[in-house]
């Protein structure tokens, strides 16, 4: 990838410095900005870190085929596709039961069932695309949000830019600044939800198995484990366990830890080697009571968070970004005020219910599988029997979890020339 150009601070004497200010330059915020490249709207991304620091997180994400199609529609997919993991199969199991549910590409009608991308790959590709292809998008970073004042015709954003106060005026403010969103707080938008009894332990490994195209979801009584293939014969592991157990696994001697991991992964990956730090974060369900207010909208983790089972979190945020970009582009084309509440409500009606359905389903999965109560065990194994033996159930479940059951953003239906797979 190309080196990123030096960020220039926004200087403007116009009434509005930009049409749209996106607070948060992570994957979701950058996706929104990139999706607005041809909208005719001027966009400023306010990011608390430098571009290099923002992209430096050691994290991996599951990407659904729909997310890939959205990136393809934006025009950034060719910068991502050669560098990420791809899987043709998903194997789902209840603990160490040998009776697997196997999902295949024919169940979904796509070449791949999903992808796994590292944070640095995704965000650097988006940053590079914005800096080379999006003339109407500017970065303001490192810049920390201090206050937002919402007015009838716009919003005034107070910032701390390298220790110096700066003011930015925008027609609309979008909060893409994570679960502790300052934008959400400034708009006085409340949330509901709960913290789980579990934490997630995430890390990366190399392995000796000849196969690197299978994603595994293994449900254990303490919590689910996602085993996701990365490029280069590596896997990204998302291991959910009670808080104390997750902390203990984080500090366990590496040899003992890998021995535990080999047991929990069923030994199907052969000899393992740890290639990253073990990171722990608590699991939470969160839903904003409103996704929009006058002159403000929320996307990604600022609007919602779900249990990491089935790798839904970032995919929901990417769909939020694509949906909001579509609503704003269409409104601007019709000469409508993009910050007007009636315009923003179109986005909320589209995304809020769909996100809530996924939040509920992931919560159901975790509670259904993270216990050993005999009636629940029998009920869930009946459900797995239906998935194994009734093709329609398997197809519907797969479409639901990949986003193909709901309203698809227009960007996901723009077909480009498929990029070549890098050897």
Q: Give tens-digit pLDDT for 401-420.
A: 888 988 999 999 876 544 44
243 pLDDT band, cuts 50/70/90, is very high
| Residue range 127-144, pLDDT digits in tens | 999 999 999 999 999 999
Average pLDDT over the chain reads 92
Would the pLDDT of 423 be above 80?
Answer: no
Would the pLDDT of 7 be above 70?
Answer: no
pLDDT of 9? 37
pLDDT of 415? 63
DSSP code per residue over 166-227? EEEEEEEEEE-S-TT-HHHHHTT--EEEEEEEEEEEEEEEE---S---EEEEEEETTEEEEE
Distances (CA, A) of 386 to 18, 101, 215, 374, 379: 53, 9, 20, 19, 11
Percent of the chain with pLDDT over 70: 94
Mean pLDDT, residues 20-46: 97
Q: Quick check: 269 and 258 in contact, CB under 8 A?
A: no
Mean pLDDT, residues 285-300: 98
The 10 Å Cβ neighbour count of residue 218 is 21
Would the pLDDT of 168 be above 70?
Answer: yes
Tell me which of 62-76, 160-174, 407-421 is least confident: 407-421
| Residue range 195-236, pLDDT digits in tens | 999 999 999 999 999 999 999 999 999 999 999 999 999 999
Distances (CA, A) of 10 to 13, 136, 138: 10, 12, 7
| Residue range 95-114, pLDDT digits in tens | 878 889 999 999 999 999 99
267 pLDDT band, cuts 50/70/90, is confident
Measured between its terminal Cα atoms, the distance across the chain in Å is 17
Report the top-level CATH class of 18-83+119-192+286-413.
alpha beta
**Residue showing tokens 């913290």:** 195
Looking only at the bridges linking them, the beta strands covering 155-161 and 214-220 are: unpaired
pLDDT of 382? 94
| Residue range 340-372, pLDDT digits in tens | 999 999 999 999 999 999 999 999 999 999 988
422 pLDDT band, cuts 50/70/90, is very low
**Residue showing tokens 């697997």:** 100
Domain ranges of the chain: 18-83+119-192+286-413
């Amino acid at each position: 990838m190309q080196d990123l150009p030096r960020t220039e601070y926004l200087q403007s004497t116009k009434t509005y410095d930009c049409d749209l200010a996106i607070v948060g330059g992570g994957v979701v915020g950058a996706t929104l900005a990139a999706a607005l490249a041809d909208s005719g709207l001027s966009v400023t991304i306010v990011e608390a870190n430098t571009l290099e620091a923002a992209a430096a997180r050691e994290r991996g994400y599951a990407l659904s085929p729909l997310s890939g199609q959205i990136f393809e529609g934006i025009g950034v997919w060719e910068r991502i596709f050669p560098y990420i993991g791809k899987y043709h199969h998903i194997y789902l199991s209840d603990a160490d039961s040998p009776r697997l549910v196997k999902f295949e590409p024919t169940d979904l009608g796509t070449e791949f069932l999903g992808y796994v991308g590292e944070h640095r790959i995704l965000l650097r590709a988006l940053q590079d695309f914005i800096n080379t292809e999006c003339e109407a998008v500017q970065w303001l970073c490192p810049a920390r949000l201090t206050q937002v004042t919402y007015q009838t015709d716009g919003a005034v954003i107070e910032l701390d830019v390298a220790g110096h106060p700066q003011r930015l005026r925008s027609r609309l403010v979008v909060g893409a600044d994570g679960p502790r969103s300052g934008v959400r707080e400034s708009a006085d938008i409340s949330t509901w939800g709960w913290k789980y009894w579990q934490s997630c332990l995430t890390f990366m490994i190399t392995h000796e198995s000849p196969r690197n195209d299978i994603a595994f979801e293994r449900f254990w009584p303490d919590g689910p484990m996602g085993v996701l293939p990365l490029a280069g014969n590596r896997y990204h592991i998302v291991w959910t366990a009670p808080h104390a157990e997750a902390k203990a696994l984080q500090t366990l001697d590496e040899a003992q830890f890998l021995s535990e991991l080999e047991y929990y992964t069923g030994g199907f990956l052969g000899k393992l080697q740890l290639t990253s730090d073990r990171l722990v974060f608590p699991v939470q369900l969160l839903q904003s009571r409103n996704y929009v207010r006058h002159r403000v909208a929320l996307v990604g983790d600022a609007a919602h968070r779900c249990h990491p089972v089935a790798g839904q979190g970032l995919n929901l945020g990417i769909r939020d970004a694509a949906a909001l970009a579509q609503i704003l582009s269409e409104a601007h084309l019709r000469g409508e005020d993009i910050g007007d509440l009636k315009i923003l409500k179109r986005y909320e009606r589209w995304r809020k219910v769909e996100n809530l359905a996924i939040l509920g389903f992931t919560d159901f999965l975790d509670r259904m599988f993270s216990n050993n109560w005999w009636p629940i065990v029998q009920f869930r194994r009946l459900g797995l029997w239906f998935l194994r033996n009734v093709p329609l159930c398997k197809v519907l479940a797969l479409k639901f979890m990949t986003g193909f059951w709901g309203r698809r953003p227009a960007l996901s239906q723009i077909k480009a020339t498929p990029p070549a797979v890098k050897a």
